[in-house]
Structure 1
């Protein structure tokens, strides 16, 4: 399926489709015309000789340096080279594709003033499997994700490096993953492309934006929503095997405090445990209340869902926004203080600032950490002899004492939660740069990278809960059935992870269940059996 881009309708699911499934992209005719119109306005402003930031002047603290017309192209190519100062791990293929896609879509909004040659070249990189090598660290989230985007854009001018798909480009001697790393010019040639010579403003337009932050955030939202549903499923199974009650998920309770997320999580637990003879078997027992980690599951999981929903709203706005600086408008769209001609104006402002994403990203990191934290507490209730139900052996070991069972799985969960808690304050930091011209930055890229890392840790905590919950089912009365959804969940885990017959390595078991969550296979089973609670 080809994803048509128009600068105005890109969605999170589209980012996932292009970044992970590598669907091709095309450019809508209307968007192409908007790009041409904006470019004409830039050319008119350049012809008029007005001082316009980054077009006829230097950058940052060098804003007062006027650039002669014969050096404007040199200015733009120098910008890419000087700003390519990234470091750290290289971005993964899907992360690079998300950056390419979101930068392309931002340029198609028609406020950046690039030529159609530039947007066509970005689309070609995506469609031909040419992926620039981009270090992950170096962005302050204002003036956009400068260093990573500079590495991304260098390939367009025949500089930098890119990983090229061997099959599509006919390149020999590829690596085991089917790619070969080539210098920029060779990478373009392998895909039948020519290097660009950048014109006035085009280098600046390629790097002034939030696209590292945005691409990572879009993927994070998709994965975080998937993890929330997996955590509901894990919690539902834990509720059953610890002889908890689902009464706390009754609709009346959540109608009395109608936060959307808590209602969704409660509904998910009810559907997963529908028909459970285990739950029914102790409905009239002497226990008055379950522990918070079970009784408050809908409220905690629901608050996490609502935090991710807040981030989703911000990402959806940003996906179809112009995050360039300066922006190009018609004269009638702006006041008389803007630089330009009667035909158009180029206005310097701050749409590149990452604060609208940095703040909700840090909020989401805190929320996902809370999801991991409550999951770890349920793991402890499954394993801890001081808290377990009488039917469960200490640490779910077959021969407690001689064997440790799943004891150390809780240690690992605790370690992962600790890592999660060390992340999530990037947006409250500020380090001025560029001679204090850029005196307040967002650190949004740090927030996005931290969010992805936190999600990875939290996913494994939930996987450990699922692993322990599945093992605990081995000690239930075999005459009592689980809920329709939780039984399907148990079977799915058991397809990959057999019951303990004695102590064994568990690292592969944890990774197998984490992969079920990451790939959405667990979610598919849950939806088929319990319905979609969204």
Structure 2
């Protein structure tokens, strides 16, 4: 007797959990809250990725959380160390040498900490890195970290050192916080850390700054404009900050940890999560530009293969498409008789399956980083409960490397998907009737977004290279003492590079998608506007005395042929396209020649067809001219895609591209203005979008929309009317 599997019957309106999107929204909201309040409070246990981004990128202040036990824990750890020393014990890094030189012993405890700084402040910084000149790095790339990375490092190191495991006095932590308060950011070398024993080199430049080292340089006042560059000694003097003299183990407690790797990784994770959400919006927008059959987003498909990420991606895409008039396939009654592709190509159809492991990996990566942010990662570690000190290897940043390599691979996968969707929109052989290169004017002399296609391919190739693992390039270091090391900072740096490159792909895809939905709406509204005059034209051909059924059948056949011909001739200039589309009348007449009155001669058919051709051409030119000045696209988009489209068109002021007329030339200024706005190269328009991606304003638009949906509604577009009577061919 056979068994019956349980039914998987699901309404497209069914609500599903969206853990990645919800976590990303929560993180964005928390950052927004921090920026509003102007500070965060740390306690060693509750730091998160959003807080790191708030301090690093937006200059949010840092304070120690009011905790009556914090000072006691810090003091107890120092007392435990002093007890060790009073017993005459040897303790690594306090009265012994470092690394492979740990077999040496010394009684100069303060001198040992200076010696630690001497050997770690050894990386390369050029004159350009320490120059305020605008010509800096004209031919050399920067060898120093961005200030945002360094601010994040300081924050994370403070959070670790207040946990009471480091034998570091409170005044050292306060000195680091004072750097942030006075906007004093150490100039830290970009390269030179293997992230075990921790990020010794980068963190030693922060230690050098609070020591007032005259050969450690800082950027001052960068949050409010171009920073001033000066020595740490001068900066502390100007800010009335007393330089720190590092006591026993304090130098080691400052630099022996994963703060640099965790800082850069956290900033990369924050943006990667947002890029993942935006990639789902762009998938929805691309499907509208392609007038896609979105049956693939039905919840039953994901429920039948219930990976959480797949369920979520399909849910989110349905949410963004809610109310769309430029997509179909989620209706209760499906049209299984339509021509053209029976299902979409992989770049759209398998998007939920493709994104599924990426969303799951991003959640996993953030969890790893959250743990790292609230960990003690130096060595030795003080156990105040047992009045003991333990030597170990918490500085090994393998967890950070694991997180960043997952993030980077997710970024590469998203980039490959978006490139495929972008290319599909631009290629008229794949775009379901859109013109070649998404040219709004005649395609014979306007190649419009062809360069975007090439650029996106270049970015995607670079992103693929960056996705390669870093962890398998570990080299034994430091007298073979550091025989295995995480390369956590290097992996995090590559992840930030991947964020940058994917952001470029996102900008290209968004520019392309907006142009695509504009053209889709332009052509579908044009076809809709032609129905009444076309009926009138047919009436003049066959007469009003024909029976209603014949007229209806004749018009239906003709209209289907006309619409298909219009989209199939998308590669032609307007005049030839009108000629091709007008032939639909001849084809329909020949198919029903037996029913057409004998009074309709071939000459009359030819005359009416020629009149129809002229009508098509003039109507199209007029419609196009009106549309490009005031597109009606947003009326036909889904609620989520409408939000991102309007952000581009209205907030950023990036217009629909009209074709060759848009290109600026060396001429009188008036020639380079169109409708009161300046003409720009395509690259300049895309760059505006890219900057909005990187500064976070694009994400804000998406998350404001999601806040209104709770990220849980059903698709909502199942019963919405579809613009136009027929699905276009191809």
> After alignment, is 317-326 or 128-137 more displaced?
128-137
Residue in 2 that maps onto 1:7: 44
Shift of 1:139: 0.7
**1:83 has 2:120 as partner:** yes
- For residues 163-202 of structure 1, the aligned pairs below 5 Å read 163-165=219-221, 177-202=225-250
Q: Is the 8 A contact 1:272 1:526 kept in 2?
A: no
1: CA distance between counterparts of 2:495 and 2:705? 31
Q: Hey, what does 2:435 align to over in structure 1?
A: 393
2:39 paired with 1:24: no
1:314 is matched with which residue: 368, 371, 395? Answer: 368
Measured on the aligned residues, the alpha-carbon RMSD in Å equals 1.9
Q: Contact 2:165 / 2:384 at 8 angstroms: preserved in 1?
A: no
Please, which of 235, 245, 248 is the counterpart of residue 293 of structure 2?
245
Question: Which segment drifts farther, 481-490 or 189-198?
Answer: 481-490
Of 127-136 and 280-289, more deviation after overlay is shown by 280-289
1:40 aligns with 2:79: yes
Deviation at 1:266, TM superposition (A): 1.4
Q: Does residue 1:52 correspond to 2:109, yes or no?
A: no
1:7 touches 1:31 (CA, 8 Å); kept in 2? Answer: no
Matches within 5 A, 1:445-464: 445-464=489-508
1:76, distance to aligned residue in structure 2 (A)? 0.3
DSSP 3-state at the match of 1:289? coil
The SS at the match of 1:137 is coil
- Deviation at residue 442 of structure 1 after TM alignment: 0.8
How far, CA to CA, are the matches of 1:312 and 1:193 in structure 2? 36
Q: Which residue of 1 aligns with 2:100?
A: 61
Q: Is the 8 A contact 1:130 1:191 kept in 2?
A: no
Q: CA deviation at 1:484?
A: 2.1
Taking the aligned partners of 1:514 and 1:413, their CA distance within structure 2 comes to 13
CA distance in 1, matches of 2:364, 2:701: 27
**3-state SS of 1:228 partner:** helix
* In 2: Cα distance, 1:294 partner to 1:179 partner: 46
- Show the 5 A alignment for 1:117-516: 117-159=171-213, 160-165=216-221, 177-280=225-328, 284=335, 285-286=338-339, 287-330=341-384, 332=386, 344-390=387-433, 392-397=434-439, 398-423=441-466, 424-476=468-520, 477-478=524-525, 481-495=636-650, 496-503=653-660, 504=663, 505-516=681-692
In 2, the alpha carbon distance for the partners of 1:230 and 1:434 equals: 43
Mean Cα displacement is larger for which, 490-499 or 314-323? 490-499
Deviation (angstroms), 1:138: 0.8
Q: Is the 8 A contact 2:73 2:384 kept in 1?
A: no
Moved over 6 A (4+): none
SS state of the match for residue 158, structure 1? coil
1 CA distance for matches of 2:102 and 2:700? 54
Which of the pair has more CA radius of gyration? 2
Contact 2:295 2:328 in 1 (8 A): no
Provide the secondary structure at the position in 1 that maps to 2:327.
helix
Distance 2:703 2:97 in 1: 55
Q: Deviations over 1:189-211 (max 9, x none)?
A: 22220111111101111101111
d(CA) in 1 for partners of 2:696, 2:185? 26
d(CA) in 2 for partners of 1:525, 1:22: 22
Distance of aligned partners of 1:395 and 1:12 in 2 relative to their CA distance in 1, 3 Å threshold: same
Larger mean CA deviation between 107-116 and 87-96 belongs to 87-96
Q: Deviations over 1:280-324 (max 9, x none)?
A: 499633332111100011122232211111110100100110000
Which moves more between the two structures, 254-263 or 197-206? 254-263
> Is residue 86–residue 151 contact of structure 1 (8 Å, CA) maintained in 2?
no
User: What displacement does 1:268 show?
Assistant: 1.7
Residues in 1 aligned to 2:693 and 2:316: alpha-carbon distance in whole angstroms: 16
Q: Distance in 2 between matches of 1:120 and 1:36?
A: 14
Deviations 1:390-422 (A, max 9, x none): 2x1111122223221100101111111111111
Native 8 Å contact 2:361 2:406 kept in 1: yes
3-state DSSP of counterpart to 1:89 = coil
How many angstroms does 1:256 deviate by? 2.2
Deviation (angstroms), 1:325: 0.7
Deviation by residue 1:161-219 (Cα, 9 ceiling, x = unmatched): 1112289xxxxxxxx92431111111112222011111110111110111111011111
Residue 52 of structure 1: how far off its partner (Å) = 0.8
Cα contact 2:366–2:403 (8 A) shared by 1: no
Structure 2 vs 1, CA of residues 16 and 527 (structure 1 numbering), >3 Å: closer, same or farther?
A: closer
Distance 1:295 1:146 in 2: 47
Deviates more, 1:92-101 or 1:2-11: 2-11
CA distance in 1, matches of 2:694, 2:296: 28
Task: Tell me how far 1:357 sits from its aligned partner.
Answer: 1.0
From the superposition, tell whether residues 278 and 506 of structure 1 become closer, same or farther in structure 2 (CA, over 3 Å): same
Q: Which residue of 2 aligns with 1:335?
A: none
2:705 and 2:168 map into 1 onto residues whose CA distance is: 50
Change over 3 Å in CA distance of 1:158–1:404 after alignment to 2: same
1:171 matched residue in structure 2: none
Structure 2: unaligned runs, 5 residues or longer: 1-36, 125-141, 529-634, 664-680, 713-730
Query: Aligned partners of 1:449, 1:533: CA distance in 2, in Å?
Result: 32
Secondary structure of the structure 2 residue equivalent to 1:26: strand
Distance across 1 between alignment mates of 2:296 and 2:432? 19
The answer as to whether partners of 2:369 and 2:403 remain within 8 angstroms in 1 is no
Conserved? CA contact 2:76–2:384, under 8 Å:
no
Query: Take 2:345 and 2:201, find their aligned partners in 1: how far apart are those partners?
Result: 48
The answer to whether the 8 Å contact 1:385/1:393 transfers is yes
- Aligned-partner SS, 1:290: coil
TM-score scaled by structure 1? 0.92
Q: What is the aligned counterpart of 2:148 among 60, 80, 94?
A: 94
Count of aligned pairs: 512
Structure 1 residue 374, shift from structure 2 partner? 0.8
Aligned to 1:340: none
